[in-house]
Amino acid sequence: MHTDPRYDYAQRQPRPPQPVDAGLLEADIPVEVRLSLYRKLQELRQWGKRTHDLFLQNLVKGTSHLSLGMEAIATGFAAAMEPDDYTFATYRGHGHSLARGMGPGPALAEMLGRENGILGGKGGSMHLTDVEHGMMGSYAIVGAHMCVANGAAWSAQMRASGQVAVCFFGDGTTNIGAFHEALNLAKIWNLPVVFVCENNLYMEYTPIDLITAVPRPAADRAPAYGLDSIVIDGNDPDAVYLAAREALGRARGGDGPSLIEAITYRSGGHSRADPAKYRPPVEVEAWKERDPITVYRSRLVDLGTAAETLDAIEHEVSVAIDDATEFAKNGREPGEDTLLTDVYADGGSRWRNGTPENPVGSGPAPTAVSATGGTSTLSYREAVARGIAQEMRRDPRLVMLGEDVAAAGGVFKTTVGLLDEFGPDRVRDTPISEQAIIGAAMGAAMTGTPVIAEIMFSDFLAVCWDMVANEIAKSRYMTNGQVSFPLVIRTANGGGARFGAQHSQSVENWAMAIPGLKVVAPSSPADVVGLLAAAIRDPDPVVFFEHKALMAAKAEVPDGEIVDQLGVARVLREGTDCTIAALALMVPRALEAAEQLAGDGISVEVIDVRSLVPLDTETILASVSKTGRLFTVEENPRLCGWGAELVSIVDEEAFWSLDGPSIRITTPHIPLPSAAALEDLAMPSAERIYTTVAKALEGGGME
């Protein structure tokens, strides 16, 4: 048994609160503001207690992370904010939601999982959002929202709207990478954002001082980012209000970000499953005496407010909470009619065409070009720059950010010339901070600024996958359609450049598996321009994979504006004996193999899938019904590649049209090696495609 005294919680030195600042009695705060603060304190407290009661009645499912005892921070800041300012909070965001104006009834109904909840039962306790009142979300994964708040502030800065983003986070967040990435970006871009650390002294169950290198987890790190060390009494509404008023004024006046550490204490455990026995009893009792409602009521009485007035406020709030409870209880359980709604901006969840619900599908869309009829020879990389420039000229709101995208023109020279034409405000270099990049893109997009974000190598998506898969992809659904994300994440994908396993992966299948994302991978310069335009104009988030090994490939591209359509595959070569479906680099290799097979008398139909989500299954099913055989050519490792999904669909829906098994031609299930000879052996080649198809059609079986 260990003897480390740091973990003997019963013997730990308690951390009592600081005495009340008597000077706040004379603070320049109008009486109507103070009465409003008291009303909100009561609303947050009574709502929290009612939620706890409903949890004990087994009406609140799952868990809840209540902010009982911490209400002064939410009320003080909300009182100082303008109605159109933005709030970002943690999973303990109920108080912030109510303070910004969310109705207690819809908030309680969401806790009960009812259809009349603010999120229709889709988000629950940890994701309360009310965009109408500037509550831009409660975020369940620690730290992510700090980067997102930067994006909202960046959007406000570019629009010169005067809005400020305020981001609340817990003390434990200060030890996660997103905290540091967010502070750095906010400072170097001088963003109108205020970060507020709600330091309740415990990360979750563990005292924050046991696992943090500095005594004040936020304030002591502020100087490293050129910010002032600000510590306030988070249990005093007046102290919070005054600090908020000053920080918001600085941000609104163009003086950049602030970081405030508010010392507070939660009266209960981390969540409803936590009895909080790890806290010294003497510490708990000391903080109870500093309860924000107790302190503030006493101050208001000292300032001359009649106790009867405060009693009346408390009663009015009590009646409102009772009404909210009935509203929540009377809500119906959500059903199948809402289950599949608001995954995408069209209000539904459809990720393919040719389904029973949509048997016709979208069909091919003509490519729009100028009336000149001329063409220009462009490389794949030049097509990327042309596509971006086309859309930035069309939409003056459109911005781009990423590492080395400005003066350097991108590591693959895909953004050359954009800085000169559009300037540094719209073409922004960033630190090597993938979470900060994607978080900023998300926050800007959800507040009305369309964005192109570049992640240099698709392998690096793993660094910011939380932002992509958990935040961007899921937020429309979790908020019941309250937010949209007109953003494109561009990234260089795939092998062939001899970069090795950490810079050569083909990861389209990562994104394809996440509901809420759209996924595109063009194979030609013309498709780069047209599909990039379609992706930028799409109201949903699109991950746009640009293949490294195709960058130098050149082709004729129509002059003028080109706008293609997502979710439309293209038949590049017609045939009758088999269908090959390929993507990106595998398309020219499939065409080469098809030409070789034609010499053997085998007629191959080659389909460039182009878009994985939406997926054009109608074109593929029609082709397989004609040819009777399907081969997929995938650069992904064998397991769980996009071709596996395609084969599954064909086997389920076109089985009786097949003359033999569907066959996948893939990279082996290995990390991609660096040596040229090994990489060439691993990736599907035109020769391997030819051999596999020829053998299968001769009755030789699978690859």
What digits encode the pLDDT tens for the residues 260-317?
999 999 987 777 777 777 888 888 889 999 999 999 999 999 999 999 999 999 999 9
Q: CB neighbours (10 Å) of residue 703?
A: 17
Please provide the average confidence, as pLDDT, over all residues in the chain.
94
What phi and psi, each to the nearest 5 degrees, are found at residue 582? -135, 170
What phi and psi, each to the nearest 5 degrees, are found at residue 402? 165, 175
> Does 375-558 match 30-327 at the fold level?
yes
Contact indicator for 117, 408 with CB cutoff of 8 Å: no
Q: What percent of the chain has pLDDT over 90?
A: 86
| Residues 386-437 pLDDT 10s | 999 999 999 999 999 999 999 999 999 999 999 999 999 999 999 999 999 9
Beta pairing class for 258-263 and 399-402 = unpaired
Catalytic residue among 127, 270, 503, 547: 503
Three-state DSSP class for 604? strand
Give counts: helices (H), strands (E), the chain: 23, 20
Q: For residues 637 and 414, what is the distance between their CA atoms, to the nearest angstrom?
A: 27
| Residues near 436 by beta carbon (within 8 Å), at least 6 away in sequence | 147, 150, 178, 181, 182, 184, 185, 430
Higher-confidence residue of 63 and 590: namely: 590
The region that residue 598 occupies, defined by phi over 0 for left and psi between -120 and 50 for alpha, beta otherwise, is: alpha
Question: Which has the closest alpha carbon to 566: 348, 360, 361?
Answer: 361
The domain spans of the chain are 30-327, 375-558, 570-697
- CATH among 3.40.50.300, 3.30.360.10, 3.90.1510.10, 3.40.50.920 for 570-697: 3.40.50.920
Question: Which has the closest alpha carbon to 530: 562, 572, 490?
Answer: 562
Cα torsion for 318, 324, 330, 333, to the nearest 10°?
Answer: -130
Q: What is the pTM of this model?
A: 0.95
Handedness of CA 224, 229, 234, 240 (dihedral sign): negative
- What six digits make up the tokens of 145? 């929202």
- What six digits make up the tokens of 194? 């205020």
Q: Output the pLDDT for position 3.
A: 67
**689: amino acid identity, one letter:** I
Q: Output the pLDDT for position 367.
A: 53
Gyration radius (Cα) of the chain, Å: 29
- What six digits make up the tokens of 141? 């994964």
Q: Which residues pair with 546 in a beta bridge?
A: 492
Question: Which has the closest alpha carbon to 180: 230, 210, 218, 229?
Answer: 218
Q: How confident is the model at residue 359 (pLDDT cuts 50, 70, 90)?
A: very low
Looking at domain 375-558, its CATH architecture is 3-Layer(aba) Sandwich (3.40)
| Residues near 431 by beta carbon (within 8 Å), at least 6 away in sequence | 181, 184, 185, 188, 403
Question: Is 96 tagged catalytic?
Answer: no
Q: For residues 307 and 690, what is the distance between their CA atoms, to the nearest angstrom?
A: 88
**254: amino acid identity, one letter:** G
- What six digits make up the tokens of 133? 């009142």
Q: For residues 232 and 76, what is the distance between their CA atoms, to the nearest angstrom?
A: 12
Q: How confident is the model at residue 369 (pLDDT cuts 50, 70, 90)?
A: low
Say which CATH superfamily domain 30-327 falls into. Answer: Thiamin diphosphate (ThDP)-binding fold, Pyr/PP domains (3.40.50.970)
Above 50 in pLDDT, residue 364? no
Q: Once rounded to an integer, what is the mean pLDDT over residues 49-74?
A: 91
Angle between helix axes 617-627 and 642-653 (nearest 10 degrees) is: 60
Whether the bond into 614 is cis, omega within 30 of 0: yes
